[in-house]
Amino acid sequence: MTIPNPYDSPTARRAFLAHLDRLAALTETEQDLVRLGQMPGLGRWLEQIHNIGGCAHPIYITGHTTTRDTITGDVLRHYTTRDEPGGRLAIRCGNRRAGLCPSCSRLYQGDTFHLVRAGLIGGKGIPDDVRTHPRVFATLTAPSFGPVHRAGTCHSNRRGRCAHGRTRRCRTVHADDDPRIGQPLCADCYDYVGHVLWNAHAPRLWNAFCINLYHHLAAAAGVKRSRIRKHVRICAAKVAEYQARGAIHFHAVIRIDGPDGPGSTPPAWATTGLLIETIRTAAGAVRLFAPPSSAYGERQLPYGDQFEAHALRADAGGTLTDEQVAAYVAKYTTKSAHESGALDHRIGHPDRISHLPLTAHHRALIGTCWRLGNVPELAHLNLHAWAHTLGYRGHCLTKSRTYSTTYTELRAERARHQGALYTHDTEDTVTASAWSYAGSGHTPGEALIALGIAENVARSRELARGARA
Ligand SMILES: [Zn+2]
Ligand SMILES: [Zn+2]
Ligand SMILES: [Zn+2]
């Protein structure tokens, strides 16, 4: 077992404390290990846990599946959990968050990598020609809601004091892990309402940007808006991520295809340079307003001007490689909300907000979500339910249907290789299955064994990768 170095990062510190807890609980775990050692079918249980990569929170199911020949009725394949240890089978929890299940999150990260990569260079059913289409990696941010401490040189040149008597200047040069980064210089000046409204409307802001992108491309090409989809199709894969200040920002791979999708060539006027310029103007032109309310008046929700776009096509002078971008996007999808100052779990009652183990700034954002959750005009945003994610209720990764393959298809492909529960009937076969839930999670001893298996699986994957490289 590797012992996390507590000086590495807040994550490592938490892991180190968890490690100490594990040591303290050793007697209980030892007893449990003795029990496991005597368990009938231990070998098969270990095999099950190995098959699911040492998942940290497996789901146990009972049931059976039978595949028959459609015409003769002969049984071609039969599996029942009756012969398994305890009469049940472990399946993966499938959680994408590294802090909750390292094994399943690695799998999810791998799937995201392949999904994003296929949209950049082809494969998994996407033609290789997409690599010749204009492709851009863009970052879209929220506007400023008030000055916050920032990494490196902070606000060293600002003068005077705010209306609350606080200095507008910060001469500190903040190290990258300084917990003050992202905290406002004056919490009373900070526009918490605007910030939460922006996060809550982030999915709509993204849609508005995509519509503008078509309109602005049409204008640049001299084509009618209503006709632009007869010339090009735009597709994207984007991740939503929290900045240190708790605002959502988007990283997106955006690609132009011809009118029939990935397999058709875009027109000559659709260049990478034009795409970059159009992304900039399309984001800048978004005019979205929060529903007007007496609670905060009229609020416009613009994009911030910290805009970035990089060409991904090598001959257009791209600085980022396809692999780098796919790995970058994949890494973000497994971050837990907690690592970004939000929470992984819903808040049941507003009284709990003041006790949350978060910065004052993040507690203030959650408190603002709760207050705005009582505003009738915002009822549709369901802000009480999304206070723990600072108002954002979108998905971590979203993509256009035509961008590339899907998670479902990637999982099915893996299941086909692994056999087990995968059933895919042809016209010659028919399968009947019945499964039910039989519990979840590990006992302390089982958790320790699963952790060891997960680390072994990860290590052998690293070695295999090293051998290929
Ligand atoms: Zn898992
Ligand atoms: Zn500062
Ligand atoms: Zn102030």
- The identity of residue 452, as a single letter, is G
> Do 266 and 130 form a contact (C-beta atoms < 8 A)?
no
pLDDT at 446 over 90: yes
User: Ligand 1: distance of its center to the CA of 98 in Å?
Assistant: 9
- As beta bridge partners, residue 311 has 136
User: Ligand 3: distance of its center to the CA of 303 in Å?
Assistant: 24
Instruction: State the DSSP string of 323-366.
Output: HHHHHHHHHHHT--GGGGTS-SS----GGGGGGSSS-HHHHHHH
Instruction: Please name which ligand lies nearest the alpha carbon of 187.
Output: 3
User: Ligand 2: distance of its center to the CA of 299 in Å?
Assistant: 28
- As beta bridge partners, residue 440 has 59
SS3 at position 76: strand
Q: Of the given ranges (71-80, 164-173, 344-353), which has the lowest mean pLDDT?
A: 344-353
Calculate the dihedral angle through the C-alpha atoms of 261, 267, 273, 276, rounding to the nearest 10 degrees: -30
Q: What angle do CA 200, 204, 210 make, to 5 degrees?
A: 145
- What per-residue confidence (pLDDT) applies to 315? 47
Q: How many CB atoms lie within 10 A of CB 349?
A: 8
User: Ligand 1: distance of its center to the CA of 322 in Å?
Assistant: 28
User: Ligand 1: distance of its center to the CA of 83 in Å?
Assistant: 23
User: Ligand 3: distance of its center to the CA of 184 in Å?
Assistant: 9
User: Ligand 2: distance of its center to the CA of 324 in Å?
Assistant: 31
Banded pLDDT at 4 (limits 50, 70, 90) = low
pTM for the whole structure = 0.78
- What per-residue confidence (pLDDT) applies to 208? 95
Host H or E run for residue 215: helix 202-221
User: Ligand 1: distance of its center to the CA of 382 in Å?
Assistant: 29
Domain boundaries, the chain: 105-145+191-405, 147-188
pLDDT at 133 over 60: yes
Provide the angle, in degrees to the nearest 10, between the axes of the packed helices 444-468 and 42-51.
Answer: 50
Instruction: Please name which ligand lies nearest the alpha carbon of 174.
Output: 2
> Do 121 and 322 form a contact (C-beta atoms < 8 A)?
yes
User: Ligand 1: distance of its center to the CA of 110 in Å?
Assistant: 14
Instruction: State the DSSP string of 408-421.
Output: HHHHHHHHHHH-TT
Task: Please state, in angstroms and rounded to a whole number, the distance separating the CA atoms of residues 362 and 336.
Answer: 15
User: Ligand 2: distance of its center to the CA of 296 in Å?
Assistant: 29
Please compute the mean of the pLDDT values over residues 188-217 and round it to a whole number. 96
User: Ligand 2: distance of its center to the CA of 30 in Å?
Assistant: 49
pLDDT at 313 over 70: no
Provide the angle, in degrees to the nearest 10, between the axes of the packed helices 192-200 and 202-221.
Answer: 70
Q: Both tokens of residue 284?
A: 């800048």
* Residue 221 per-residue DSSP state: H
> Do 34 and 401 form a contact (C-beta atoms < 8 A)?
no
Instruction: Please name which ligand lies nearest the alpha carbon of 163.
Output: 3
Instruction: Please name which ligand lies nearest the alpha carbon of 158.
Output: 2
User: Ligand 2: distance of its center to the CA of 246 in Å?
Assistant: 16
User: Ligand 1: distance of its center to the CA of 232 in Å?
Assistant: 41
Q: Which residue has the tokens 């899907």?
A: 406
Task: Please state, in angstroms and rounded to a whole number, the distance separating the CA atoms of residues 191 and 245.
Answer: 12
User: Ligand 3: distance of its center to the CA of 169 in Å?
Assistant: 12
Provide the angle, in degrees to the nearest 10, between the axes of the packed helices 360-372 and 192-200.
Answer: 70
Please compute the mean of the pLDDT values over residues 62-75 and round it to a whole number. 89
What are 371-407's pLDDT values in tens digits? 999 999 999 999 999 999 999 987 778 888 888 888 8
Q: Which residue has the tokens 């006992």?
A: 443
Residues listed for the chain: 469
- What per-residue confidence (pLDDT) applies to 350? 83
